[in-house]
Amino acid sequence: MPKTEPFERHTDRYEAWFDAHEDAYQSELAALRRLLPAPGYGLEIGVGSARFAAPLGMEVGLDPAEEMLRHARDRGIDVVRGVAEFLPFADAAFDTALIVTTICFVDDIHETLAEAERILAPDGSLVIGYIDKNSPVGRVYQATKEENPFYREAEFVSTEQLVDALEVVGFDDFEFVQTIYHPLDEVDGPEPIDAGYGDGSFVGIKATR
C-alpha cells in the first residue's frame, strides 16, 4: 500500500520544511540541475507538491496523495494520480524520469525502477535524488524516524544498494553528485556540490543505458 496518509494529513508541515531549510533545498536543486541540463519531456515519479518538478522543468507529475497533487497542479504541473510501481504511461513516453526523496517510500524498489526504465525513451535518463542511508543525515533520520510522520515507515537505501537495483533493471551508466555536508539545521548558505558520493548526505544519480 502506498504510504500516502502522512502526506495527505500533514501537507502544511511538508511545505513548511522547504521554507525552514531554504539553503539545503536550494543546494539539492542545484545538485540535481547538474544532472538535468536539458530534461526534455519529463516525468517526476512521486512528485509531491512539485517542489522539485517545477523548478527542474518536469512537465508531468505522478503521486498517490491527492492533497500533494493539488499543490503540484498549482505549480503548473500536469498531474496524474497513481503509484510508482504501475505507471499509467506508454513505453518510451518520456525523455527524463525524476525521483526525488521518494525512493524510501515506495512499496517495491525493483518494480519502481523497472517501470521508470520502461517509460523512458532509449536515450532517456533516470535521475534519482535521495538521502543516503549511510550518511550523517541518513543516520539521524533513521534514529528519529518514529518521531516523524513522514519517515516512520520509510526504508532508506544506500547508494550501493540503489546502484545494484538499477543494474538489475537494465541501467549500466551512472553519474553521481553530492551535497549537504552539515546537519540540516546548521546549513547556512549554499552547500558545496561535488561529483561522486560518500561524503554528502544528499546524493543524485543519473542513470542511463
CA distances from 114 to 88, 94, 174 (A): 13, 14, 16
- What CATH code is carried by the domain that includes residue 187? 3.40.50.150
pLDDT digits (tens, 9 = 90+) for 111-162: 999 999 999 999 999 999 999 999 999 999 999 988 887 788 889 999 999 9
Q: Write out the residue range of the structural domain in which residue 93 sits.
A: 5-208
Amino acid at 6: P
Task: Specify the pLDDT at position 3.
Answer: 67
Q: What percent of the chain has pLDDT over 90?
A: 87
Pick the residue with more confidence: 7 or 26?
Answer: 26
- Which residues in 135-144 are b (16+ Cβ under 10 Å) and which e? bbbbeebbee
146 DSSP 8-state letter: G
What is the arithmetic mean of pLDDT over 82-103? 98
Into how many domains does the chain fold?
1
**How far, in Å, CA of 88 to CA of 80, rounded?**
9
In the three-class reduction of DSSP (H, G, I as helix; E, B as strand; rest coil), residue 19 is classed as: helix
Task: Specify the pLDDT at position 105.
Answer: 93
What cell numbers appear for 161 in the block?
544498494
What cell numbers appear for 72 in the block?
503540484
**How far, in Å, CA of 155 to CA of 172, rounded?**
24
